[in-house]
Amino acid sequence: MKKIIFYDLETTGRSAYWDQIIQIAAICTDEHLNVLDEMNLIGKLNSFSVPDPEALLVNKIPIDSIVKSNFSNYSLISEISHKFSEWGPATFIGYNSIKFDEEVIRNAFFKNLFDPYLTVKNDNTRVDLLDITRIANFFYPDKIKSLLNKKGSAIMKLESIAHTNGIKNFTAHDAMGDTYASLELAKLIKNQIPELWDKSILQSNKIQLEESIASKPFCYLESFFGKSKLFCLSFVGFHPKYKWALCFDLFEDPKKVLDMNKSDIYAFLESSPKKIRKIKLNKSPILLDIEIKKTLDEYNVVSDDVLLERHNFISTNQEFKDKVLSCYNDIILDESQLDVYAEESIYKKFVSNSDSFLMKEFQKADWKNKFIIMEKFKDERLKYFAEILIYEEQPYLLEKKKFS
């Protein structure tokens, strides 16, 4: 039985690279969302960490409790890694977690020499409750309600959504409070719209997503500055460098492309609204059956027969695919040539197998042996992180000149 882990973080700021976790709360449940275990930990501020005052005002954690704590940041991250591994295999869920919490967790694991990809390895998967909630509110606003802002867009903040749907007994912007609210919201969606909940959980595997988009047309809900829009799409191919799934908007006629030159094709594809939607399958997007568009009159301007005809054209016409994909061969995002700091380098280079082995040995060793292992790392980033950890935990092991 695969478990489900709801979690939330409080941090010193908004940067996944530079800020640190100061509180984590997590609730482990079974597939029926019955609570099996939980944790709620607050860790010490690193000596070199400067918290954003606004972050402390929001999460209301007293500064004394994170400055004077005996539970170091390394101990906190170690316990997170241990608990997540012990609870797995599981689906990890948070509210806006894919864009923020997951990135913070990955970077924290990386800088503390744990496996940064724990939440997607060993049959673990992840999904974002915010995405599920958006879809639920978009298609079933009578079941998952929301308030509207001045522009008429749904307010999707967790505190607002929870209160609007009768979830009130929690402390907002406290990690355990927000985790509890997320669990209760998930229960509501599971009970009210079980087919959406099941699809979201079962579809969180990247390989399954790849197989799904290659076999049939689908719908995808995107959000722009608070406004949600539904797209009916057909998979064309993967971006030649970034491996995003490039998908064509079936409300447009794909046959137009065959009579265009390359520059005209790219202008057509990228003109607003963009005809190609770029979907990052490693970010656990929720893909919907094409039939769901029938529930919304405004999306039925193109008949099902026409949509299917366009999809079949795209999936069987190699000339169309080649013309579209060739545009993206030439258009690569500008990338800085400057060297990045080690803290910002998690996606720049994978850790070698030999260093991955040493990372595991580092975690098993006492601090004197950690120092010995530190010298064996071939990846200078890992050696640098190990030095920082030793400085924070057992500074007497280091030469004074290193940190004077």
Q: What is the CATH number of domain 206-330?
A: 3.30.1520.20
* More confident position, 8 or 301: 8
CATH 3.30.1520.20 placement within the chain: 206-330
Amino acid found at 230: L
The mean pLDDT of 25-46, rounded to a whole number, is 98
Q: What is the dihedral of CA 213, 215, 218, 220, to 10 degrees?
A: 0
Question: What's the rounded Cα separation, in Å, for the pair 149 and 157?
Answer: 11
Closest CA to 33 of 180, 207, 209, 135: 180
pLDDT at 402: 61
Whether residue 41 contacts residue 70, with contact meaning beta carbons closer than 8 Å, is answered with no
Q: Name the β-bridge partners of 228.
A: 223
Backbone phi and psi for residue 58, each to the nearest 5 degrees, phi listed first: -70, -50
Q: What is the mean pLDDT of the chain?
A: 93
Closest CA to 79 of 356, 357, 344, 363: 363
Structure-block tokens of residue 144: 């998952």
User: Range with the lowest mean pLDDT among 40-54, 56-70, 97-111, 243-257?
Assistant: 56-70
Question: What's the rounded Cα separation, in Å, for the pair 35 and 169?
Answer: 17
Question: What's the rounded Cα separation, in Å, for the pair 309 and 149?
Answer: 39
CATH 3.30.420.10 placement within the chain: 3-202
Q: What is the pLDDT of residues 231-287, one digit of tens each?
A: 999 999 999 888 999 999 999 999 999 999 988 998 999 898 899 999 999 999 999
**Which residues are CB-neighbours of 185 under 8 A, at least 6 positions away?**
95, 129, 133, 158, 161, 162, 165, 167
Helical spans, DSSP H, in 271-352? 304-316, 318-330
Question: What's the rounded Cα separation, in Å, for the pair 393 and 404?
Answer: 16
Model-level pTM greater than 0.85? yes
The domain 3-202 having CATH identifier 3.30.1120.130: the answer here is no
Q: Are strands 245-249 and 227-238 parallel, antiparallel or unpaired?
A: antiparallel
Residue 403 banded pLDDT, cuts 50, 70, 90: low
pLDDT at 307: 94
